[in-house]
Structure 1
Amino acid sequence: MDLPDFSIAEMQSLSVEGSGRRRHPSVPEAARSEDFGSSYDWTTLWYDAVQRDGELLLICPKLLNFKAFISDGALRADGSAISVSRVRHHRRHDVVRLRTRAPVTRLETSNGRWRRDSGVSPDQSALFAGLNASVHISRNNRLDWIADWARFHIGEHGLEAMLVLDNGSDAYPPQAILDTLASTGLKRVVILKVPHPYGPVRQKKRGGGAKFLQPAMLNLARLRFLYRARAVLNADLDELVWTRAGSVFDAAVQSRLGFVTFDGRWRMPAIDAEAPYRHSDHRFQRATDKPCPTKYCLRPDSWLGRQSWDVHHPEVLLPLDWLARKDMGYWHCRGITTNWKSYDRLGFNKVGPEDPFTAETLDRLLPNR
C-alpha cells in the first residue's frame, strides 16, 4: 500500500443549521461565562462519519436534544434506510454506530422537511500502524514550538508519528505545520482540519465548561487513525515527557495493562527572560511546585486503549491516578502558550531554583533552541 508520509485530512461533518433546532445548553445559566453564547457548539450534529469494519461511526458532541436526528427513521445511507446499532453516551461526547452491508458514500438525516447529508471518511489506521504516535489539538501554536516538541520526543522516546488536530488556526495554513515537521525526522504526520468551536472553558469559580471538542477529537483519532498504532502518547504541545526509565512507548507496550500514566510539574523560564519563550527556556521550578493532572501513553489494542480516551485518562469507572509512575512525568512549560484561556499564564512573577535534571535534559535534546 502506498501511504503518504505527510498529509492533510478533513472531517465529514454535519450541522443542523437551518432546521430550526439548536442544542440545549449543557450548563446552567448561572454558571455560564460571558462568552458562552459565542463559544458553545449549538448546531454540530456529528464531527465526522467514519466507515470501518462494516459499520459507520458517528463521532458527535453531546447529542442532548438532537437524538431524533440519529434515529432509525431519520437516517439514510446512499438513499437507503440504515439502522442504529448502538449509541455510546460519554461524559463530553457521544458515538453512534450504524450497521452497513456495503461501503457508504453519503449519509443523510432529516427532520420534517429539513434534510442534510455529509460524506463519509475512510478508515486511515494504516497510516499509523505499528508506529509510536502522539496526538494533539492545536490552534495557532508557534511552529517552532511544534518542531521542538517533536524533536524532544524523537530523541528521548523514539516518537515516529504525530497526528495534529488543527483547530482552525488562522496564523498559518495546515501545510505550514507539515513543512515544519518534515525536517524533524518523523516518519509520518497527519494534520486533521478541525474548524469547529472548542467550547466554553471552565471558569475557576463557577465551572461552566462545555468542551465537547477535545474528548470527541481524541476518540475520532482513536477510531479513524490510531487504533493500529504501536503505542499512543497523549500530551499537549506545552508538555515535555521526561523519563528515567527509557521510552514511554516501550513502557506502555511492556506494561501488563498496556498503559502508563504520570503527572506533571510546572517549569518556568527565567524571571528576566524575554518572550517569546521556547521549551528550552523552561528549566526553573515553580515557587509552589504542585503536581499537574496526569497524562498517559497506551497501547490502543489493550483493554484500556479500547475504552473512550479523555484528556487525563481513559474514561473508565476505575481510578487510575494511583498508577502514576515516579520514574517518568512531564514538564508543563509555563511560557509555551498563546494565552487563549481566561487567565494570564505569561503573568508569572514567582520563579523557583533551576532544576539540574531538567536543564541537562533540555541541553541534551534541544541544544541552541
Structure 2
Amino acid sequence: MSLPDFSIAEMASLSVAGSGLCRDAIIPPGKRGEGFDAAYDRTTLWYDAVRRDGALLLVCPKLLNLAPLLSEDALRLDGTPARICRVRRWRRHDIIEIAASTPAATVSTSLGAWRGESGTSPDQSALFAGLNASLHISRNNRPEWVADWARFHIGEHGLQAMLVMDNASDAYPPEAILDALAPTGLKRAVVLKVPQTYGPVRTKNGGGGAKFLQPAMLNLARLRFLRRARAVLNADIDELVWSRGGSVFDAAVKSRLGFVTFSGRWRMPPAGLAPPFRHADHTHLRRNGTACPTKYCLRPDGWRAGIGWDVHKPEIRLPIGLLKRGDFGYWHCRGITTNWKSYNRLSPGGAGPEDPFTAAKLAERLPRG
C-alpha cells in the first residue's frame, strides 16, 4: 500500500442549521460566561462518520435533546434503515455505532419535513500504524511553533508522526502546517480540517464552559487515525514534554497499564524579551507558579482500545494522580499562545530565575541557528 507522508484530511459532518432544530444549552443561564451563546455549538449533529470494521461510527457532541435524530427510526445508510449496535455516552461527547456489512457512502437522518445527509470517511489508521505519534488541536498557532514542537519531541522521545486537528485557522491555510513540518524529520503528518466552533471555555470569574469539540476530536483521532499507532502522546503545541532518561513512547509501551501520566510546570521567557516568542525562549521559572494538570502517553491497543481519551487523562476509573511519573513532565510555555482565551499570557512580568535544566534541554533540542 502506498501511503502519503504528508496529507490533509476532512470530516464528513452534518449540521441541523436551517432546520429550526437546535441543541439545548448544557449550562444554566446563571452560570454562563461572557460570550457563551456565540461560542456554544447548537447545531452540529455529528462531526464525522467513520467507516470501520463492519460498522459506521458517528462521533458527536453531546446529543442532549437532538438524540431522536440518531435513533433507528431516523437514521439511514445509503437510504436503507440503519441498525444501531451500540451507543457510547461519554462526559462531553457521544458515539453511535451503526452496523454496516458493506461500506456505506452516505448516512442520513430526518425529522418531520427536514432531512440531512453526509458522506462518510475512511479508516485511516494505516497512516500511523506502528509509529510514535502525537495529536493536537490547533488554531492559528504559528507554523514555526508547530515545527519547533516536532523537532523537540523527535530529539527527546523519537516522535515519528503528528496529527494536527486544525480548528478553523484563518491566519494561514492547512498546507502551511505541512510545509513547516516537512523539513523536521517526521515520517508522517496529517492535518485534519475541523471547521466547527471550539465551544465556550471557563472564564476566570467562574463562567461555565461547554467544550464538546476537544474531547470529541481526541476520540475521533483514536477511532479514525491512531488506533494502530505504537504509542500516542497527548500534549498541546505550547507544552514540551521532557525526559530525565528515555522516551515517553517507550515508557508507555513498557508500562504494565500501557500508559504513563505526568504533570507540568509553567516556563517563562526572560524579562525584557518581546513577543513573538519561541519555545526556546522559555528558560525561566514562573514566580508563584503551580503545577499544571496531567497529560499522558498511551498505547492504543489491547484493552485500552475501548477507553475514551480526554484532555488530561484517559477516561478510566483509576487514581491517575497516584500514577504520575517523576522522570517525565512538561513545560507549559507561557508565551506560545495567540491569547485566544483572553488570559493575557503575553503580558510582561511574572518571570522568575532561569532554570538550568530547562535552559540546557532547550539549548540541546532547539539550538538557535
TM-score above 0.5, yes or no: yes
Partner of 1:152: 152
Letter in 2 for 1:259: F
- Percent identity between the two aligned chains: 67
Partner of 1:103: 103
Partner of 2:118: 118
Partner of 2:198: 198
Partner of 2:53: 53
Partner of 1:87: 87
Partner of 1:13: 13
- Please state whether the residue corresponding to 1:73 is helix, strand or coil: coil
Letter in 2 for 1:344: N
- Please state whether the residue corresponding to 2:73 is helix, strand or coil: coil
Aligned pairs for 1:306-321 within 5 A:
306-321=306-321
2-side partners of 1:77 and 1:306: how far apart?
A: 24
1:305–1:314 contact (8 Å) kept in structure 2: no
Deviates more, 1:178-187 or 1:304-313: 304-313
| Residues 193-213 of structure 1 deviation map (CA, whole Å, 9 limit, x = unaligned) | 000000001122324100000
Letter in 2 for 1:62: K
Letter in 2 for 1:79: G
Aligned pairs for 1:1-369 within 5 A:
1-304=1-304, 306-368=306-368
Deviation at 1:348, TM superposition (A): 4.3
2-side partners of 1:306 and 1:365: how far apart?
A: 35
Deviation at 1:317, TM superposition (A): 2.4
Compute the RMSD of aligned alpha carbons. 1.0
1:265–1:291 contact (8 Å) kept in structure 2: yes
2-side partners of 1:135 and 1:57: how far apart?
A: 20
1:19–1:111 contact (8 Å) kept in structure 2: no
1-side partners of 2:100 and 2:136: how far apart?
A: 31
1-side partners of 2:343 and 2:130: how far apart?
A: 40
Deviation at 1:20, TM superposition (A): 1.3
Deviation at 1:305, TM superposition (A): 5.0
2-side partners of 1:90 and 1:138: how far apart?
A: 23
2-side partners of 1:66 and 1:83: how far apart?
A: 18
| Residues 72-103 of structure 1 deviation map (CA, whole Å, 9 limit, x = unaligned) | 01011011101111111111111111111211
| Residues 47-82 of structure 1 deviation map (CA, whole Å, 9 limit, x = unaligned) | 000000011100000000011100101011011101
| Residues 263-320 of structure 1 deviation map (CA, whole Å, 9 limit, x = unaligned) | 0000000011111000000000011131100000000014345300000001122221
2:41–2:197 contact (8 Å) kept in structure 1: yes
2:34–2:207 contact (8 Å) kept in structure 1: no
Letter in 2 for 1:101: S
Q: How many equivalent pairs are there?
A: 369
| Residues 97-149 of structure 1 deviation map (CA, whole Å, 9 limit, x = unaligned) | 11112110000100011111000000000000000000000000011100000
2-side partners of 1:263 and 1:190: how far apart?
A: 27
Structure 2 portions without partners, runs of 5+: none
Deviation at 1:17, TM superposition (A): 1.5
Letter in 2 for 1:228: R
Deviation at 1:331, TM superposition (A): 0.4
1:243–1:328 contact (8 Å) kept in structure 2: yes
Deviation at 1:343, TM superposition (A): 1.4
Letter in 1 for 2:316: V
- Please state whether the residue corresponding to 1:182 is helix, strand or coil: helix
Letter in 1 for 2:98: L
Letter in 2 for 1:309: W
- Please state whether the residue corresponding to 1:148 is helix, strand or coil: helix
Displaced runs of 4 or more, over 2 A: 204-207, 302-306
Deviation at 1:255, TM superposition (A): 0.5
Structure 1 portions without partners, runs of 5+: none
- Please state whether the residue corresponding to 1:19 is helix, strand or coil: coil
1-side partners of 2:348 and 2:304: how far apart?
A: 37
2-side partners of 1:80 and 1:305: how far apart?
A: 30
1-side partners of 2:33 and 2:287: how far apart?
A: 30
Deviates more, 1:116-125 or 1:350-359: 350-359
Letter in 2 for 1:306: G
Deviates more, 1:230-239 or 1:94-103: 94-103
- Please state whether the residue corresponding to 1:115 is helix, strand or coil: strand
Letter in 1 for 2:50: V
Deviation at 1:36, TM superposition (A): 1.0
Q: TM-score, normalised by structure 1?
A: 0.98
